[in-house]
Structure 1
Amino acid sequence: MTFATSGAGAEAGDGDGDRDGDRQKRTIRGTLPAGSPDFVYVPVEVPPGVRELRVSYTYGKPTVPAGTTGNALDIGVFDERGTELGGKGFRGWSGGARTEFFIRADDATPGYLPGPVRPGTWHIALGPYTVAPDGLPYEITITLTHGSPGTPVRTVYPPERAGGRGRDWYRGDCHLHSWYSDGRRTPAEIAALARAAGLDFINSSDHNTPSAHAHWAGEAGDDLLILLGEEVTTRNGHVVALGTDPGTFVDWRYRARDNRFGRFAREIRRAGGLVVPAHPHATCVGCNWKFGFGEADAVEVWNGAYSPEDEMALAGWDGMLVASVRQGRDWIPAMGNSDAHRDPDPVGRPQTVVLADDLTREAIQAGLRAGRSYVAEAKDVSVSFTASGPRGEHAGIGERLTVAPDAQVTVRLEATGAPGCTLRIITDQGVLFTSAPLPESGTGSAQWRTTASYAAYVRAELRHPPVVPGHPGPMAAFTNPIFLGRR
């Protein structure tokens, strides 16, 4: 077993090792300086007859001055098929969530893919997320255990269809993390919370690994459709691959300046998934979306508890709507998800409510792609939003009401489950109608008239009372637009 550290900016490491019966252990040490590449690979020569690969690591976490990033080191592994971008060698990633992992034919640490430990050059992948000014010292211990490989895992995936109610509004949360990445909940715990939150569908979206896909089948049922995906966590933003084929791995090792995102967005679509940029205005390191929206099928405007970041995302999305009608191009629907990781993060707050022909992977994706959806903070909040013309023309959320430019259009908004909230109607000119607060029953409606020449689209919001006077209150629900007039 031989070791070396590769990658520009990485200092060569030193190591020591020993052999104890059927176990071979080696420790390697090194230091990554400030300005290291995003990923550094430590090669490991695996001889024939290895049953298990086990890796543990530690790294220095010195105190740094206020305003200076400290050390954070992610880890994963690629097998003998190599580290090529988008290649076949990926075997697992835990980011910074774990300090050790193992891989065998019959089992693997969550985040990693079980399978044979074949001979050849494997690579431990180090991801220096942030590096302190004095560098990032690390120590990796690799243990190879020889023996018979064990029985390979039999893989079963959840079905692509649930019971359903025919064409109806279905509630879902498509951004969730389990203990197969940096979450702390099992699939069973997430499924139970999803049912309690009134959800009809969820999407598995662990960071940079499809390892959870094979562990959801037992949690699906007629009342819960489980889609499979990944949160592709790059250094320039995160994107949810929503509803991909089982076992699909989407690589994340690139930045916007590399001009590679389009390739992987197309891979997501070839695998039957949707491309959904997540929390585009998040302030954590590497979270802010910098790839543009030309490849997006939808955008996650509301992520978790409503915050100023979401308000910025909403404003940015509304600006894209305005640009789409002015330039005569396609628009991008909005959605909302919880991004729940652990207690006390609530699953299904918020949730996307989509009009779909049935509770199937294909139908749910079609509804999301078309924007026939709204986002609500919880299962108790419901919205009905329609537009009608003078001759009986009718359109709902995500649709177009085709009327003459000066024909009168009646917009109707109904809401339940939102006590104290105000109803708002927004067009490409801004907020043009705000109701009085709803009564304690939380039920109310509003009607507003316009023309297609005055409003290119209408969309609706339910807002809680303001926290800061003079500013809009937190969101309770918002819809995708209804477009008015001929295209």
Structure 2
Amino acid sequence: MCEEQGGSGGAGVGRRALFTAAAATAVTLGGVSFAEADDDGAQQDGATVSRTVSGTLEPGAADFVYIPVEVPRGVRELKVSYGYEKPQVPAGTQGNALDIGLFDERGTGLGSDGFRGWSGGARTEFTVSAEQATPGYLPGPVRAGTWHIALGPYTVAPQGLAYEITITLTKGAQGRTPRPSFPPERARGRGRAWYRGDCHLHSVHSDGGRTPAEIAALARAAGLDFINTSDHNTSSSHPEWADLAGDDLLIVLGEEITTRNGHVLALGTDPGTWIDWRYRARDNRWGAYARETRKRGGLVVPAHPHGTCIGCNWKFGLAEADAVEVWNGPYTPDDEMSLADWDNTLVAAVRGGRADWTPAMGNSDAHRDPDVVGLPQTVVLADDLSRQAIQEGIRAGRSYVAESSAVEVAFGATGGRGGHAGIGERLAVDAAAPVTVRLDVKGAPGCTLHFVTDQGTLFTSEAVDGSGSGSAAWHTTPSYAAYVRAEVRHPATVEGLPGALAAFTNPVFLGG
């Protein structure tokens, strides 16, 4: 499976050790020794010593490959740089992609306190010390013991994946690790109101091209009231947002947990929370980590469930989900598939007589220019602009998704003796009672308005005029429609396919 050989500078890579981890497959290779770094000549403050190792991972390599590094006493900084070959491959065949991260002397076990960072394939080198660390990594003491470089061979070419890693230690006294501060959990807000947010954003702390400051500025420009941070597999950005929040912008903290069988947002976790991602659906570990996410204050939101990138398609099911990201970035056919799948879960819930259902949301997944922050955005009815209130609104499904802050939606159902139910609520009337469903929109010129039920789309309006404001009403009964949700769609551009969404709502349920 793996071939490893000693590198330049006399790197001591011994016989490899193989094991299968409790979750996903893993390999631990022989260790890299810095024993001579304890010699008197290498004790001088600022002195550096490097080791280079190289090897080849064959097709079918383990999900994670760990290279132990014996770190001696008296080290103040650890630096890792790496590279790997990217040979040409036949058409339709995946080439090489190698992710990288770091665990300290506390170990590599699932959920280990030893996690010190992950950059995936976003950078070719990183540095860790007590005072600071490369984005994606956590500052902290460089203590003596066995550290591990974690390699994630995302894809391996038929020729194999040849890599080379250089580890450099700098001697000296440990510095002081800064005490982190985090954004406040509440902004001024407007009391009970509709608040706009984007909960899937990437910064330079993972594979994004924007700093937290740039993202916060774009969020304000997009008319957002809140954002959730979601860098891949790391919490390193959490302290960077403290000074970027304000009365006009709530910043909640999270992570995009990027497994080999799909991605999921840990939305609004406690500051500094890191949730492990090193498992597959077959490992039966997901439920425990979903519960850990909630225990640490977050919501569990599978992201882009029909995403087309390798490993992006969600394979863990929705049993543990608090919501699901149905619309991800500019509207595409995979979003249409996610919308249809989500609607099927609503049908299953009402036909099974279940009160539980999974709300939908939408986010931009913006990484870098020209990705648009707030395309789309989730608009949440919340009691105030706070982490808890926003999470409660998302979990209850009191929300709709819009392509921008220019689009506003009001949707609800009336019936019985003055009864009314809004988005995410239930209108409790008899099965034969007449019900009127009404949708009002702004900012949607040329769009059509649709009412979708457990039987499918049962009403479609004429196109909204150039003012962008339009309304539609429809009459039904709970026996005919167990729920109704609204869609606002642009004109179709491909014959036989629906137009892209401008907005859609969570359902209003009808009946007792």
Q: TM-score, normalised by structure 2?
A: 0.93
| 1:48-67 aligned within 5 A | 48-67=73-92
The answer to whether residue 286 in structure 2 is matched with residue 261 in structure 1 is yes
Percent identity of paired positions between Structure 1 and Structure 2? 71
- Deviation, structure 1 residue 306: 0.2
* 1:16 and 1:27 in contact (8 A); partners too: no
Q: 1:414 aligns with which of 440, 452, 473?
A: 440
| 1:18-417 aligned within 5 A | 22-329=47-354, 330-417=356-443
What is the CA–CA distance in structure 2 between the aligned matches of 1:469 and 1:256, rounded to whole Å?
Answer: 38
* 2:206 and 2:232 in contact (8 A); partners too: yes
**Change beyond 3 A, Cα 1:7–1:177:** farther
Q: What secondary structure, in the 3-state scheme, does the structure 2 residue paired with 1:36 have?
A: coil
**Change beyond 3 A, Cα 1:213–1:11:** closer
What is the CA–CA distance in structure 1 between the aligned matches of 2:233 and 2:86, rounded to whole Å?
Answer: 24
Which deviations, in whole Å up to 9, do the C-alpha atoms of 1:401-422 show, x marking residues without a partner?
0000000000000000000000
- Deviation, structure 1 residue 469: 1.9
Which deviations, in whole Å up to 9, do the C-alpha atoms of 1:4-30 show, x marking residues without a partner?
555469696898989676211100111
Q: Give 1:214's aligned amino acid.
A: P
**Change beyond 3 A, Cα 1:45–1:2:** farther
Runs of 5+ in structure 1 lacking a partner?
A: none
* 1:228 and 1:244 in contact (8 A); partners too: yes
Runs of 5+ in structure 2 lacking a partner?
A: 1-10, 20-25
Which deviations, in whole Å up to 9, do the C-alpha atoms of 1:426-456 show, x marking residues without a partner?
0000000000000011001001000000000
- Deviation, structure 1 residue 471: 1.8
* 1:348 and 1:378 in contact (8 A); partners too: yes
* 1:79 and 1:123 in contact (8 A); partners too: yes
Q: What secondary structure, in the 3-state scheme, does the structure 2 residue paired with 1:288 have?
A: coil
What is the CA–CA distance in structure 1 between the aligned matches of 2:56 and 2:30, rounded to whole Å?
Answer: 7
RMSD: 1.5
Q: Give 2:316's aligned amino acid.
A: F
- Deviation, structure 1 residue 154: 2.0
Q: Give 2:187's aligned amino acid.
A: A
Q: What secondary structure, in the 3-state scheme, does the structure 1 residue paired with 2:441 have?
A: strand
**Change beyond 3 A, Cα 1:40–1:292:** same
Q: TM-score, normalised by structure 1?
A: 0.98
Q: What secondary structure, in the 3-state scheme, does the structure 1 residue paired with 2:138 have?
A: coil
* 2:27 and 2:66 in contact (8 A); partners too: no
Q: What secondary structure, in the 3-state scheme, does the structure 2 residue paired with 1:219 have?
A: coil
Q: Give 1:257's aligned amino acid.
A: R
What is the CA–CA distance in structure 1 between the aligned matches of 2:179 and 2:424, rounded to whole Å?
Answer: 42
* 2:28 and 2:67 in contact (8 A); partners too: no
What is the CA–CA distance in structure 1 between the aligned matches of 2:130 and 2:13, rounded to whole Å?
Answer: 23
**Change beyond 3 A, Cα 1:120–1:483:** same
What is the CA–CA distance in structure 2 between the aligned matches of 1:407 and 1:263, rounded to whole Å?
Answer: 44
- Deviation, structure 1 residue 61: 0.5
What is the CA–CA distance in structure 1 between the aligned matches of 2:353 and 2:391, rounded to whole Å?
Answer: 24
- Deviation, structure 1 residue 328: 1.9
Which deviations, in whole Å up to 9, do the C-alpha atoms of 1:178-210 show, x marking residues without a partner?
000000100100000000000000000000000
Q: What secondary structure, in the 3-state scheme, does the structure 2 residue paired with 1:103 have?
A: strand
* 1:304 and 1:338 in contact (8 A); partners too: yes
What is the CA–CA distance in structure 1 between the aligned matches of 2:363 and 2:288, rounded to whole Å?
Answer: 25
Q: What secondary structure, in the 3-state scheme, does the structure 2 residue paired with 1:335 have?
A: strand
Which deviations, in whole Å up to 9, do the C-alpha atoms of 1:154-174 show, x marking residues without a partner?
200000000100000000000
What is the CA–CA distance in structure 2 between the aligned matches of 1:327 and 1:278, rounded to whole Å?
Answer: 25
For 2:4, the equivalent position in structure 1 comes to: none
**Change beyond 3 A, Cα 1:353–1:30:** same
The answer to whether residue 450 in structure 2 is matched with residue 429 in structure 1 is no
**Change beyond 3 A, Cα 1:277–1:14:** closer
**Change beyond 3 A, Cα 1:386–1:14:** closer
* 2:461 and 2:472 in contact (8 A); partners too: yes
**Change beyond 3 A, Cα 1:104–1:14:** closer
- Deviation, structure 1 residue 470: 2.6
* 2:56 and 2:161 in contact (8 A); partners too: yes
The answer to whether residue 489 in structure 2 is matched with residue 459 in structure 1 is no
* 1:16 and 1:28 in contact (8 A); partners too: no
Which deviations, in whole Å up to 9, do the C-alpha atoms of 1:115-166 show, x marking residues without a partner?
0001100000000000011211111000011101112112000000001000
What is the CA–CA distance in structure 2 between the aligned matches of 1:64 and 1:14, rounded to whole Å?
Answer: 32
Q: Give 1:295's aligned amino acid.
A: E
Which deviations, in whole Å up to 9, do the C-alpha atoms of 1:35-82 show, x marking residues without a partner?
011000000001111000000001111000001111000000000000
- Deviation, structure 1 residue 3: 4.2
- Deviation, structure 1 residue 485: 0.1
Q: What secondary structure, in the 3-state scheme, does the structure 2 residue paired with 1:268 have?
A: helix
Q: Give 1:62's aligned amino acid.
A: P
For 1:450, the equivalent position in structure 2 comes to: 476
Q: 1:468 aligns with which of 486, 494, 498?
A: 494
What is the CA–CA distance in structure 2 between the aligned matches of 1:151 and 1:118, rounded to whole Å?
Answer: 13
Q: What secondary structure, in the 3-state scheme, does the structure 2 residue paired with 1:283 have?
A: coil
What is the CA–CA distance in structure 2 between the aligned matches of 1:78 and 1:328, rounded to whole Å?
Answer: 47
What is the CA–CA distance in structure 1 between the aligned matches of 2:17 and 2:114, rounded to whole Å?
Answer: 17
